[in-house]
């Protein structure tokens, strides 16, 4: 394996760095592909697009099943326009409604409707089934729990915000 270099010939990576970066790429790209496949399973079975599922599931887990639009944007990593577009589609489908925040009238909340909660539950059940088939069956529940705990311990506390 040749070691990558910059175009100017300076800053060659050593073999240890190349191996480390290769392992990271394998982990990262594998997780992205698996996530895409799992969300494609959800979409093909329920008709819920990945971005819509993310919003529905996030709202399901929130107190009163509602969250400020700016929080959706920040936590889910969408752009402001992207968040608006997804919430518009969900509102048009009757799965989400916009309502003013009771504590700050300048803030708009996205809130699940009863139909939205049903769709979110159905999609989550589909995802759980796909996870069992694609992840739990090959790894086993103990290895999966260990992997989740290990990876979770590496993050910088983003789950506390969610």
The pLDDT, as a whole number, for residue 84 is 94
Burial code (b: 16+ CB inside 10 Å, e: under 16) for 23-53 equals eeeeeeeeeeeeeeebbebbbeebebbbbbb
The pLDDT, as a whole number, for residue 1 is 52
The pLDDT, as a whole number, for residue 40 is 96
Residue 6 above 90 pLDDT?
Answer: no
Q: What is the pTM of this model?
A: 0.79
More confident residue, 155 or 103: 103
Class of domain 18-133: mainly alpha
For residue 94, which of 112, 107, 82 has the smallest C-alpha distance?
Answer: 112
Domain extent listing, the chain: 18-133
* 94-147: pLDDT as tens digits: 999 999 998 888 999 999 999 999 999 999 999 999 999 999 999 999 999 999
């Amino acid at each position: 394996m040749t070691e990558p270099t910059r175009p100017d010939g300076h800053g060659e990576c050593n073999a240890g760095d190349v191996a480390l970066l290769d392992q990271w790429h394998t982990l990262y790209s594998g997780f992205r592909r698996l996530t895409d496949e799992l969300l494609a399973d959800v979409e093909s079975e329920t008709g819920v697009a990945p971005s819509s599922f993310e919003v529905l599931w996030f709202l399901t887990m929130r107190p009163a099943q509602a969250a400020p639009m700016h929080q959706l944007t920040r936590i889910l990593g969408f752009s402001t326009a992207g968040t608006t577009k997804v919430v518009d589609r969900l509102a048009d489908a009757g799965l989400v409604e916009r309502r003013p925040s009771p504590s700050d009238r300048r803030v708009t909340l996205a809130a699940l409707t009863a139909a939205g909660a049903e769709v979110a539950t159905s999609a989550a059940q589909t995802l759980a089934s796909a996870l069992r088939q694609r992840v739990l069956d090959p790894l086993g529940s103990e290895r999966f729990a260990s992997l989740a705990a290990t990876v979770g311990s590496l993050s910088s506390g983003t789950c506390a915000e969610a």
